[in-house]
Amino acid sequence: MTDTVAQSSAVADAKAAPDTMAWDSGLRRLMMIYLPLGCFVLILLFPFYWMAITSFKPNAELMNYKDHNPFWISSPTLAHIKHLLFDTAYPRWLKTTMLVAIGSTTLSLIASTLAAYAIERLRFRGSPYVGLGIYLAYLVPPSILFIPLATVVVQFGLFDSPLALVLVYPTFLVPFCTWLLIGYFKSIPYELEECALVDGATRLQILRRITLPLAVPGLISAGIFSFTLSWNEFIYALAFIQSGANKTVPVAILTELVTGDVYQWGALMAGSLLGSLPVAIFYSLFVDYYVSSLTGAVKE
């Protein structure tokens, strides 16, 4: 009895949701929400601001806080970026990183689409266990794998070759993508496939013409996420690549640009900025897919 009363008033309240905020005075809202939010954004973004501003500062300003306000640039310069692009192998590192990221993303997308389709749609005895096994693979961190993997890579004759990274990165990409795609495949009505089966389509035709087109948002999510993860990967690239020319951007900046006792902060920060830019641009184009894949992977 009281339940129904509560329910009906709850419905009424839901309609008037913005009005319930009326008891919040503006000041209270400012102190409780906007001020802490402002602090969070400031702290979360400050390192990027600092990175960006350092990469355009001439060395004289970098090392002199007395005469120049460190939070601003008096005479911006492109010297650090020029040094990076023309005096180091930076363009080559960028190219290697890009190729490795694209290669491993493609490989893991193909592998995980097929696996997710088999687990979710072909349904065989033990398919939940295969799914669970792939999920468990996600929980194995690279830090406990890189030493034995280094010996495996040497055995395959792939040491110091970017191809090793293309083959190894799917170990953490496939579990993630498979789980994401299983979630997407689940949301596609099974009836569509049954209709196609009745009409005489083969399983592969169903996958190609019905399931995949409907799962495109999931494929995009998995793809951009894999790209970002492979772009950011560090420990395998550090352990398996020796020669300076074959390194990926994150490893190369840390091992090739940090030289001697006097760090060239301008060049280091310019390298970090340029290395972050591709993923940041990519991210700004596909923000919603990132958020959905991040939260989707957690919820599944």
Partner 1 sequence: MSVTTVSSPALAQRQPNWLVRLFDYKPFLIVMCLAPAIGLLSVFLTYPLGLGIWLAFTDTTIGRRGVFVGLENFQYLLTDPLWWNAVFYSVVYTGIATFGKFALGFWLALLLNNHFPFKSILRAIILLPWIVPTVLSALAFWWIYDPQFSIISYLLVDVLHWRSGNVDFLGSPWPARFSLIAANIWRGIPFVAISLLAGLQTISPSLYEAAMLDGASAWQRFRYITFPMMMPILAIVMTFSIIFTFTDFQLVYAITRGGPVNSTHLLATLAFQRGIAGGELGEGAAIAVSMIPFLIFATLFSYFGLARRKWQQGEAND
- Closest contact distance (angstroms) between CB of 78 and partner 1 is 19
Determine the 3-state secondary structure of 189 from DSSP: coil
Tell me the window of 73-81, 88-96, 142-150, 215-223 that interacts with partner 1 (CB under 8 A): 142-150
Subset of 112-131 contacting partner 1 (CB under 8 A): 112, 114-115, 117-119, 122, 124, 130
Q: Are 184 and 85 in contact (CB under 8 A)?
A: no
- Closest contact distance (angstroms) between CB of 238 and partner 1 is 8
Residue closer to partner 1, measured from CB, 78 or 136: 136
**Identity of the residue numbered 230:** S
Q: Are 292 and 221 in contact (CB under 8 A)?
A: yes
- Residues in contact with 59: Cβ distance below 8 Å, sequence separation at least 6, in sequence order: 266
Q: Are 77 and 57 in contact (CB under 8 A)?
A: yes
Characterise 248 by phi-psi region: left (phi > 0), alpha (psi -120 to 50), beta (else): beta
Q: Total residues contacting partner 1 (rule CB under 8 A)?
A: 108
Residue closer to partner 1, measured from CB, 190 or 234: 234
Residue closer to partner 1, measured from CB, 75 or 295: 295
Apex CA 236: angle with CA 221 and CA 294, to 5°? 20
Tell me the window of 72-80, 82-90, 203-211, 215-223 that interacts with partner 1 (CB under 8 A): 203-211
- Closest contact distance (angstroms) between CB of 87 and partner 1 is 19
Give the one residue of 31, 45, 216, 245 binding partner 1; rule: CB under 8 A. 45
Give the one residue of 86, 204, 243, 260 binding partner 1; rule: CB under 8 A. 204
Q: Are 112 and 179 in contact (CB under 8 A)?
A: no
- Closest contact distance (angstroms) between CB of 34 and partner 1 is 7
Subset of 212-231 contacting partner 1 (CB under 8 A): 228, 231
- The Cα–Cα gap between 142 and 120 comes to 27
Tell me the window of 31-39, 78-86, 87-95, 215-223 that interacts with partner 1 (CB under 8 A): 31-39
- The Cα–Cα gap between 172 and 112 comes to 11
Give the one residue of 31, 60, 78, 192 binding partner 1; rule: CB under 8 A. 192
Give the one residue of 142, 160, 212, 217 binding partner 1; rule: CB under 8 A. 142
Residue closer to partner 1, measured from CB, 100 or 174: 174
User: If binding is defined by CB under 8 A, does position 8 make contact with partner 1?
Assistant: no
Determine the 3-state secondary structure of 192 from DSSP: helix
Residue closer to partner 1, measured from CB, 78 or 285: 285
User: If binding is defined by CB under 8 A, does position 51 make contact with partner 1?
Assistant: yes
- The Cα–Cα gap between 222 and 108 comes to 9
- The Cα–Cα gap between 42 and 120 comes to 43
- The Cα–Cα gap between 87 and 224 comes to 31
